Chain A
C-alpha cells in the first residue's frame, strides 16, 4: 500500500512569491492534514480537510490556504511568501470524520526555503 506522497521534495522561493504544495493521501483515507515544522517551533497544525471541505485551521494568516479534490488529494497554497515561512511542510492523512481516534500517517514533507 502506498503511503502519503508529497511533492515537490524541495522548493526554493523568494519573498513575495506564491507556492503550491501537493499531497496524495493513503488510499481509503478521506482526511488530510497540513503541518508546518519550522526550526525551533515544532510541529504546528495548519489545516484539516475532509470530504472536500476545510474542517479546521490553525493560527495562521489567510495567505495560507488550500483545498481538497474529489480524489481526496490536497494542495496547500501560500501567498506573499515571507522569510519565516521557511520550514518543512508535512501532510498527513487518516480515516475521516468519526475517526478522531485514528492515527495520522505522514508523508516525507516538502522543504520550503525562502531567500
Chain B
C-alpha cells in the first residue's frame, strides 16, 4: 500500500530564512507521480508541482525548489528567503497508476509552516 510521511508537523521560521519541508513516500510501483500542494488559511489546496518517478531532475521555480531522490524515497521542498505569504499547510501526495486511469492521491498529514516577521 502507498504511504506518504511528512514528519514535520509544524515549522516556524523568521522571514527571509530558508526552510525545507520533508516528504518520504512508500510504494511498490515503479511508475508513480508525486505532488506538492499548498493550503493557505482560506482552505483551497493549490497545486505546486508534479514529478514523475522517472525524472529525478531537481526543479526550481522562483523561490521554490524540489529535490527528488528515488534512492531515499524522498521528495523534499525548499522555500528560499521565506515570506509571510508562504505561511500555509503544505501537503505532499503520491499517485500510482491504476487500471482505468484517473488518480487517487494519497496525502501526507501536512506540514504547517509559519513565517513570522
Contact = CB atoms under 8 A, between A and B. Distances in A.
Given A43-B91, A101-B33, A101-B95, A56 B47 contact: no
Contact of B47 (A96, A101, A103): A103
B68 interface: no
Contacts of A45: 104-106
Interface in A1-44: 31, 33, 42-43
A56 B104 contact: yes
A106 B45 contact: yes
Contacts of B101: 50, 96-100
B106 A101 contact: no
Which range contains the number of A residues in contact with the other chain? Answer: 20 to 34
Contacts of B52: 101
Contacts, number: 71
Contacts of A92: 45
Given A56-B98, A109-B43, A102 B103 contact: yes
A100 B98 contact: yes
A104 B42 CA distance: 18
Given A55-B100, A56-B98, A96-B101, A107 B106 contact: no
B107 interface: yes
A96 to B, nearest CB: 7
Nearest to A88: B43
A17 B106 CA distance: 30
Contacts of A72: none
B4 to A, nearest CB: 10
Contact of A100 (B97, B107, B109): B97
A48 B43 contact: no
5 contacts: A48-B104, A50-B102, A100-B33, A101-B33, A101-B50
Interface of A: 31, 33, 42-43, 45, 48, 50, 55-56, 58, 88, 90, 92, 94, 96-109, 111
Given A42-B110, A90-B45, 18 more contacts: A31-B102, A45-B104, A45-B105, A48-B104, A50-B102, A94-B102, A94-B103, A96-B101, A99-B102, A99-B103, A100-B101, A100-B103, A103-B47, A104-B47, A106-B44, A106-B46, A108-B43, A109-B44
